[in-house]
């Protein structure tokens, strides 16, 4: 074989991706570099580490899945689902997973329930600087960790679900909903989580809090162009704080409170601007309170039933229709609410809008 033939053979071997064999368990520390194909279930054994090197490309085919019982560390890697994907394709872990500056694309045939694809259960998942395009849900299940400076674009259903998760922190992240997106961030039975400095665009709702969400803090968030900005429903949603939210151009209402029983959630220092139907839709939702917030350009302040049990203190209502039977109560001297033009910039100019995700780099 001449030298040219040898070079061609070596190049072909280098360019062809490594195929990870079926039902393989990684029982020693392992590093993946270059291109890797995952076509069946791969397990990282307990007390073992899989490192995915910068520049690596991991292709999931068929029902290929990656299960972490130990530790997974990936940086600047590209994860993509092939066209022949089947239900069950997933990355799941019970150990510890770190993804830094990675890209995930087209994981839309995830697991059960609501089409999740990346799940941490009874462990910790940390995401930093990652991009998720056309992917199913990321779920924290009885787990902790954090999400920093990430982008979720065109999520297929839910983008992130915190389910029985505690102390998860989400910061500086953009949720850019598409036509297939539903709830961008969903919390059920999650406690003491913090969400700060994030932007939510589109989707059915930006924030959805279901049964048992308690003592979570949401601050300095921009919610724009959802059907519902903040949706809280079910019992035992207690002591959640929504502070410094800017909720604009909701296609239905900025806030929906539905059958929350004796919940006591506080909205404070928020701005609610130009919802199509009304600012708040409340049904059987006593105990929720709005303080020091601005309601600007709403056809109605309140919709629903039993909304008179909500608490309003030190708010500003401007170009917003108040319920006739509650107007005197809402504007009483004790309430410190008032109808006045707010001393703020035009909310249209206050919107923080990140660069269009299409402007950023796309992995090939």
Domain edges within the chain: 21-356
Q: Residue 291 pLDDT more than 60?
A: yes
Q: Give the integer Cα–Cα distance in Å for 121 and 146.
A: 14
Q: What is the pLDDT of residue 113?
A: 56
**Beta bridge mates, 268:** 243, 291
Q: Is 1 a residue whose pLDDT tops 60? A: no
Q: How confident is the model at residue 197 (pLDDT cuts 50, 70, 90)?
A: very high
Name the 3-class secondary structure at 25. Answer: strand
Mean pLDDT of 249-258: 97
Pick from 129, 85, 130: which is nearest to 111 by CA?
85
Distance CA 285, CA 278 (A): 16
- Please, what is the average pLDDT of the chain? 88
pLDDT tens per residue, range 3-22: 444 333 333 333 445 665 44
Distances (CA, A) of 338 to 255, 316, 335: 20, 5, 9
Residue 190 pLDDT greater than 50, yes or no? yes
Topology adopted by domain 21-356: Pectate Lyase C-like (2.160.20)
Q: Are 218 and 206 in contact (CB under 8 A)?
A: no
**22-71 per-position pLDDT tens digit:** 459 999 999 999 999 999 999 999 999 999 999 999 999 888 899 999 99
Pairing mode, if any, of strands 71-75 and 49-52? parallel
Q: What pLDDT shows up at residue 114? A: 61
Distances (CA, A) of 74 to 184, 222, 241, 344: 24, 30, 34, 44
Which phi and psi angles does 9 have, rounded to 5°? -65, -45
362 falls in which pLDDT band (50, 70, 90)?
very low
CA-atom Rg of the chain in angstroms: 24
Could you give the 3-state DSSP secondary structure of residue 331? coil
| Alpha carbon separation from 289 to 11, 56, 65, 105, 243 (Å, rounded) | 66, 50, 45, 40, 12
Average pLDDT over residues 270-284: 95
% of the chain with per-residue pLDDT over 90: 71
Other C-beta atoms lying within 10 Å of the C-beta of residue 16: 11
Q: First-to-last CA distance in the chain?
A: 34
Q: Which residue has the higher pLDDT, 108 or 163?
A: 163
Residue pLDDT, tens place only, 120-169: 999 999 999 999 999 999 999 999 999 999 999 999 999 999 999 999 99
- The whole-number average pLDDT for the span 220-243 is 95
Q: Which is more confidently placed, 98 or 11?
A: 98
- Cβ atoms of residues 5 and 24 within 8 Å: no
The per-residue DSSP string of 192-216 comes to S-EEEEEEEESSSEEEEE-TT-BS-
- C-alpha 72/C-alpha 63 separation (Å) is 20
């Amino acid at each position: 074989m001449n030298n040219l033939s040898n070079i061609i053979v070596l190049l072909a071997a280098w360019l062809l991706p490594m195929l990870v064999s079926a039902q393989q368990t990684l029982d020693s520390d392992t590093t993946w570099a270059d291109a890797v194909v995952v076509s069946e279930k791969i397990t990282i054994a307990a007390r073992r580490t899989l490192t995915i090197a910068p520049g690596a490309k991991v292709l999931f085919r068929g029902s290929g899945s990656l299960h972490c019982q130990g530790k997974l560390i990936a940086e600047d890697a590209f994860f993509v689902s092939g066209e022949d994907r089947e239900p069950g394709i997933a990355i799941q872990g019970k150990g510890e997973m770190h993804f830094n500056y990675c890209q995930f694309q087209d994981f839309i045939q995830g697991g059960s329930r609501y089409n999740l694809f990346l799940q941490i259960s009874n462990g910790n998942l940390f995401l930093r600087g990652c991009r998720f395009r056309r992917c199913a849900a990321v779920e924290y299940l009885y787990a902790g960790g954090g999400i920093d400076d990430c982008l979720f674009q065109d999520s297929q259903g839910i983008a992130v679900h915190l389910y029985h998760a505690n102390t998860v922190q989400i910061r500086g992240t953009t949720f850019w909903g598409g036509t297939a997106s539903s709830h961008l961030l969903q919390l059920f039975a999650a406690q003491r989580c913090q969400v700060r400095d994030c932007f939510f665009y589109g989707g059915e709702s930006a924030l959805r809090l279901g049964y048992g969400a308690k003592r979570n803090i949401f601050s300095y968030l921009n919610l724009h162009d959802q059907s519902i900005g903040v949706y809280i429903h079910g019992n035992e949603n207690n002591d959640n704080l929504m502070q410094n939210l800017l909720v604009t151009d909701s296609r239905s209402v900025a806030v929906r409170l539905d059958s929350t029983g004796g919940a006591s959630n506080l909205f404070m220092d928020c701005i609610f601007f130009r919802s199509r139907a009304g600012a708040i839709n409340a049904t059987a939702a006593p105990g929720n309170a709005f303080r020091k917030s601005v309601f600007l350009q709403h056809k109605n302040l309140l919709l629903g039933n039993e909304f008179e049990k909500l608490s309003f203190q030190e708010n500003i209502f401007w170009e917003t229709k108040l319920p006739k039977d509650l107007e005197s109560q809402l504007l009483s001297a004790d309430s410190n609410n008032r109808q006045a033009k707010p001393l703020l910039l035009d909310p249209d100019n206050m919107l923080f809008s990140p660069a269009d995700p299409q402007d950023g780099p796309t992995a090939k």
